[in-house]
Amino acid sequence: MRKDFLWGGATAAHQTEGAWDVGGKGISIADVMTVGGPGIPRRITDGVLEGENYPNHEATDFYHHYKEDIALLAEMGFKSFRTSIAWTRIFPRGDEDEPNEEGLKFYDDLFDELRKYNIEPLVTLCHFELPWALVKEYDGFLNRKTIGFFVKFATACFERYKDKVTYWMTFNEINNQADAIQHHILQEGGILLNGRENAEEIMYQSSHYELVASALAVKKGLEINPNFKIGCMIGYNPVYPATCKPEDVLMAQAAMNQKYWWAYVHVRGEYPHWLLNKFERHGYKIDITEEDKQILKEGVVNYLTFSYYMSFAIKADPENNPHYDYDRKYFVKNEYLKASDWGWQIDPVGLRWGLNWFYDRFGLPMMIVENGFGAYDKVEEDGTINDDYRIAYLREHIRALKAACEEDGVDLLGYQMWSPIDIVSASTGEMDKRYGFVYVNKNNAGEGDLSRSRKKSFFWYKHVIETNGEELD
């Protein structure tokens, strides 16, 4: 592995910070989401309501514990740490003219603390955290005006932290929307679907405005500091054909296209031909102007990041789906893979496959910015937590990425495990779906004193970093 490989971990502001109404912070979309559970979706309430359980309001209180938490990361030898800037700390409603100084100051202190230990900050600008006022009053990214609000926010961050942060990502898992249309919300774009009929068209339109916003931010960022690395962030879970039947193979290819086309626009600055055909076939009228096309070309990213947790398998149904439109209802269980308690299929080989898939297509330096295992942990009577299942998951995924680098020659800058310290789950709002090397004493009901303790995996990862990935056992 390269000597400067960035071993680290990743989190997001809304899943860690808490302090939802401290320091002038406004309400974000994550602040109105209730707790759910396996198979129980989170609800979105109309503003913050009395008597509801909002797990992100306190989360793990990173806002007040960040020094203690960063010291733990430093003890493991972290080279990098990914988090996001909560948009509502900087622009509480999203449409103000001036940023909130107290919010800016918080991230100054946070980045200084990381730098103190030589930990490289990796920063996502928008990680499922749209200001609630933009959702309610503007319809999120379905409104062209939101492009301007995002660019103003991004610019404020680039200017303020230009000497402290080099690695940026614009939108976390921007392509999650491919799957979200079956739900009530497009969280990334801040759009409440609430039964609106043309959900797919809405998804394509808001994605376009987000992509334009991202491209404008990239342009702006590189003007402010030409050394910036500004990347896209793709939620990447490869889709395999269920069998070698040619129709299944074609369906898997179509699914890969329709789940990952965002990367084409981010990297190549233009829409793939088959997607424009799909718009036409469905009669979708997407507002894409000539000026937008120019912006997309000028604002291409200069590195590519992605998360990886699992893979899927898909079956074709040419009779009912002759155009091979992507829909999760065609997924089938992969009989070769085991799954987590949340049904996420464990597939380290898919990570190697995926690294090659990206590198062949785009040829950009890459970073894995999320990979981890959500599980129930047991605290033993003597206080130890023996999370061998987490070690096993991470070990095999690191083996796979090493093979992609050393045998296949992909250009990988770093690996950010998700999430080094337990956090609130994004999909379910649970605390008990744990990812960390560090245990946080708090459960789904919100009980616990928030104290931190080291799990077995903490010492294992420390050794992985010490040996630059040479010793994984």
Task: Report the interface residues with ligand BGP, using CB under 6 A.
Answer: 12, 15, 172-173, 235, 307, 370, 374, 418, 425-428, 433
Closest distance of CB 172 from ligand BGP, Å: 5
Residue 173 falls in the annotated catalytic set: yes
Length of the chain: 473
Which amino acid type is present at position 160? R
Q: Please say which residue, 61 or 96, places its beta carbon nearer to ligand BGP.
A: 61
Closest distance of CB 16 from ligand BGP, Å: 10
Please tell me which residue in 17, 113, 129, 173 is annotated as part of the active site: 173
Residue 52 falls in the annotated catalytic set: no
Q: How far apart are CA 365 and CA 2, in angstroms?
A: 13
Q: Count other Cβ atoms within 10 Å, centred on residue 383.
A: 9
Closest distance of CB 27 from ligand BGP, Å: 19
Residue written as token pair 């926010």? 153
The two structure tokens encoding residue 342 = 């949340």
Q: Please say which residue, 23 or 37, places its beta carbon nearer to ligand BGP.
A: 37
Contacts of 82 (CB under 8 A, 6+ apart): 8, 9, 10, 11, 121, 122, 123, 124, 369, 416
The two structure tokens encoding residue 429 = 């709002």
The SS3 call for residue 44 is strand
Q: Count other Cβ atoms within 10 Å, centred on residue 315.
A: 16
Q: Please say which residue, 128 or 153, places its beta carbon nearer to ligand BGP.
A: 128
Closest distance of CB 174 from ligand BGP, Å: 11
Q: Please say which residue, 248 or 370, places its beta carbon nearer to ligand BGP.
A: 370
Q: Please say which residue, 374 or 436, places its beta carbon nearer to ligand BGP.
A: 374
Q: How far apart are CA 66 and CA 115, in angstroms?
A: 13
CB 239 within 8 A of CB 311: yes
Closest distance of CB 301 from ligand BGP, Å: 17
DSSP state of 241: E
Catalytic residue set: 173, 370
